[in-house]
Amino acid sequence: MSEPYDQSHNERPRDVLTAHVLRPFKRAVDVARNRVNDLRRRMAHPAFLDQYPARTVPYVFSKLYGPFGLVAARRNGAVGFEGRAPVAEAGDFILPRNDIVRVNREGAFYWTATNIAGYYSLTYDADPGLAANPGVISAPVADIFDPVFPNNGGALVVNNFFGNGVRICFDLVLYDKKRGRRLHENSLPPQVLCGQGYANKTNASPIRFDPNTEIEPRLRLLEVRPDDLLDTDQAFDAAQFAGYLSLNFIGYKVLEV
């Protein structure tokens, strides 16, 4: 006589008779799961956690860029920022400091919304010659995660990439490493990804990243400028600047194994 099937363990039936007895129950569960999956696809909205157990999971790929320095859109002068800041190069791009987007083999990732935020740190290690002297900080600019005191770390937010007189202008390319091609024809401007203020920008429909996919979110800086604060050589030489960009791909994973 065969051993009874212990339903408390996640294992296959050990004999043909037990498998035959359990087959209708298994089919009923599969049919219910497929119906939920079909409804979810029609609604373009995931059924999370207890509504669709062990299959759909909220997920965010959070990527941080920087620190990066000042960038001029064009050479438009001989002194200060316009004359001395590096000029943007069309072929230059930077990648996230905390790795690219890697979708594992368990299932696809559906990208549904995006959140972008810019940050900057600007201090002076000498007198910048400004009408309102901001003071001199001898410590060099530290990382965004370093303490403000005494390391001169941290950063201020750039709301809509034009906040506090600081501009961070950029575009983005999503490059599929394994297929060796872009996912789109033209570069993506920030307006496509930015929800204004601190809101998320929702995609018109979910965008699928296949399992085992590697996406490089290539950031191209077009201009990084603290308004007109660095228009003189004295102010430019005294400035200590670091910029950052946080890019978040918001969505969900559908487990397929």
Per-residue pLDDT tens over the stretch 82-114: 999 999 998 999 999 999 999 998 889 999 999
Whether a cis peptide bond, with omega within 30° of 0, leads into 24 is no
DSSP state, residue 40: H
Q: Are residues 32 and 132 located together in one domain of the fold?
A: no
Last residue of some domain: 43, 63, 81?
43
* Residue 31 lies in domain: 13-43
Q: Are residues 227 and 161 located together in one domain of the fold?
A: yes
Band of pLDDT at residue 246, cut at 50, 70 and 90: very high
Residue 115 in any domain: the answer is yes
Best-predicted range by mean pLDDT (92-96, 158-162, 179-183): 92-96
Q: Are residues 195 and 155 located together in one domain of the fold?
A: yes
Q: Are residues 67 and 133 located together in one domain of the fold?
A: yes
Residue 8 in any domain: the answer is no
Cα distances (angstroms) measured from residue 35 to each of 30, 40, 157, 212 = 9, 9, 45, 26
CA separation for the pair 140, 69 (Å, rounded): 13
Q: Are residues 109 and 27 located together in one domain of the fold?
A: no
Residue 4 in any domain: the answer is no
CA separation for the pair 59, 254 (Å, rounded): 10
Domain tally, the chain: 2
Q: Are residues 140 and 245 located together in one domain of the fold?
A: yes
For residue 247, give the nearest of 220, 214, 209 by alpha carbon: 220
The answer for residues whose C-beta is within 8 angstroms of residue 86's C-beta and 6 or more apart is 69, 70, 71, 72
Residue 54 in any domain: the answer is yes
pTM: 0.78
